[in-house]
Amino acid sequence: MTSSSEVSLPYKELGIEQILILSLFLLLLNIMNAILDRVIYCGLLGPVLLGIVFDTPGTQWLYHETEEAIGHLGSLGLTLIVYEGGLSTSISSLKANLFLSSAVACTGVTAPIALSFLLKPMADATSLQAFAAGAALCSTSLGTTFTIMSVSGLTNTRLGIVLGTAAMEDDVIGLVMVQIITGLGGPDASIAAMTIVRPIAVSIGFAIILPLICVFLVKPVTQLLTRQPATGLRARLLRSTKIPLVVLMIHTLILLGLISGASYAETSTLFAAYLAGACISWFDETSPFLVSHGQTPVEETCNSSAITTAISPVSTINGDVGAMVEKKLTGVTVYEKYYAQPLNKIFKPFFFASVGFSIPITHMFSGAVVWRGIVYSMLMALGKLLCGIWFIGHTTGTVTESDHAEPDIRRSLYSAAILGSAMVARGKIGFLGSSLAASNGIFDPRGNAADVFLIVTWAIVLCTILGPVAVGLLMRRLRAWQKRKDRIAARANEWDTFRDWNDGE
């Protein structure tokens, strides 16, 4: 920030060296993202690795102020990623799978904390250090989760809805854990009850009050405005809803209003961003403006097989069905028109690059730390993979006659593996929790506690990198399996046709 004596920020022309470095950085972010998306369906890995390379411990090509600015823009990208996840959510499917999502989230929190107590014999950690490590690693990276869902085509599937909701619940709990870690420093430290209660209570309040406002205030007002004949002020208001910039402003104000309220209430702004998108999605599903077009693509997609959708994702703005909705200014069409390009090309790569900036790569390669870090990473990955147990035996969509009402075991196992792998990535909340534990003296920089901090950092780094890679490889294998299955079915149909011809002779 400028000092009080300065009346303005002096203009300084950026040197050619920084222009070239920033240009190279932006180009490489998008090139690596595109290549890795095509090869292993995990483009986000590229920006993370580039963040490590361009960071201060690496090439030192970026100024510290530039890294901070990239981190700030990345935070905007994270908010928009989560907002997009809310826009893509079907409220009816969300309600139908709420219990399953909560069970997945509960497993994703308790298992890492329980497994973290193995640090006591492995790294001579105290119970407090083991708990702080587990608390830092109980969260799930929302940016990574929603990016995986978008790239893999899982957003509108049952699997995607359960995954997104569970990750959101983990984010709220992770925020609470960060507050707890903040209060754990020192032997005489105490944790105020409000520190724990406030984020949970406010999040529950948001989740309850917003639907009530939508049903009992927004819906009646909308019905009143659309009542025919529309004259005077109502007619002008209805005409304004057909102007893209007006709808963009309304959606943006809803988003900013909710995340501002969440921030001042000291709860998760990402949860508020998701709710903003979900409320707009609900309005698009129930609004009289869309009734004439029948069922929306989101509803149709959620009623179809989840894995089939993942293999051949149904676009909400392209194709014959999408074209019907595109005539109306839905949340998805406004998002795609105004937000998608800058998010995908700048803000999202900046967010994942800022994750790379957070990795203290130069301190992580002590021999004892490396093997313990790898073992602990495996335990933390296992803690999230256990979330997939809840999906074993579940059908992923509606049962067709060809299924003979029996769940496809292989498809069920793929769904469980994808769900668990997508929950593995930790991201920035994990780094925040471990950094706070270190700064508050829980991971004392002297003695074995410094090793505990580095072991935890290893787990966050490896989980954040390998989780999305695992999802990408599973999706690639799943698509290949589905193609083989389709070819076998096509050959069987050809044989049946040939046999019918012979029978006819």
Q: How many domains does the chain have?
A: 1
Q: What is the identity of the amino acid at 484?
A: R
In a domain, 8, yes or no: no
In a domain, 497, yes or no: no
Contact yes or no for 127/95 (Cβ under 8 A): no
Distance between CA atoms of 174 and 462, rounded to whole angstroms?
19
In a domain, 393, yes or no: yes
Distance between CA atoms of 46 and 36, rounded to whole angstroms?
7
Task: Enter the pTM of the model.
Answer: 0.74
Flag whether pLDDT at 463 surpasses 80.
yes
Distance between CA atoms of 72 and 74, rounded to whole angstroms?
5
Closest C-alpha to 174, from 262, 77, 271, 76? 271
Distance between CA atoms of 340 and 244, rounded to whole angstroms?
15
pLDDT: is 73 or 294 the higher one?
73
To the nearest whole percent, how much of the chain has pLDDT over 90?
16
Contact yes or no for 280/254 (Cβ under 8 A): yes
Q: Print the domain residue range for 413.
A: 16-491
**Band of the pLDDT at 375, cuts 50, 70, 90?**
very high
Distance between CA atoms of 396 and 156, rounded to whole angstroms?
12
Mean pLDDT score, 184-198 = 63
**Band of the pLDDT at 306, cuts 50, 70, 90?**
very low
DSSP state of 192: -
pLDDT at 173: 80
| CA angle (407, 411, 412) in 5-degree steps | 65
**Residue 398 CB neighbours (<10 A):** 12
**Residue 315 CB neighbours (<10 A):** 14
Mean pLDDT score, 38-43 = 75
- Six-digit token string for 138: 């109980």
Q: What is the identity of the amino acid at 26?
A: L
In a domain, 505, yes or no: no
In a domain, 344, yes or no: yes
CATH of the domain at 177: 1.20.1530.20
Contact yes or no for 150/83 (Cβ under 8 A): no
Mean pLDDT score, 390-405 = 52
Summarised one tens digit per residue, pLDDT across range 400-456 is: 333 443 446 777 788 888 889 989 988 777 887 787 777 777 776 555 556 888 899
- String of DSSP letters for 407-431: --HHHHHHHHHHHHHHTT--THHHH
**Band of the pLDDT at 187, cuts 50, 70, 90?**
very low
**Residue 243 CB neighbours (<10 A):** 11
Q: How far is the CA of 162 from the CAs of 141, 183, 418, in angstroms?
A: 15, 32, 12
Which of 54-63, 185-194, 223-232 has the weakest average pLDDT? 185-194
The residues, ordered by sequence, that sit 6+ positions from 383 with a Cβ below 8 Å of its Cβ are 108, 111, 112, 114, 115, 137
Distance between CA atoms of 111 and 380, rounded to whole angstroms?
8
pLDDT at 117: 92
In a domain, 371, yes or no: yes
In a domain, 276, yes or no: yes
**Band of the pLDDT at 314, cuts 50, 70, 90?**
very low
Residue 62 φ/ψ region, left for φ over 0, alpha for ψ in the -120 to 50 degree band, beta for the rest: beta
In a domain, 496, yes or no: no
Mean pLDDT score, 483-492 = 75
Q: Which helix (H) or strand (E) holds 319?
A: helix 319-326
Backbone dihedral angles phi then psi of residue 449, each to the nearest 5 degrees: -65, -30
For residue 492, give the 3-state DSSP assignment. helix
pLDDT: is 388 or 446 the higher one?
388
State CA 111 to chain mean position distance: 20
Counting Cα atoms < 13 Å in the Cβ hemisphere of 360 gives 17
**Band of the pLDDT at 213, cuts 50, 70, 90?**
very high
Distance between CA atoms of 191 and 200, rounded to whole angstroms?
15
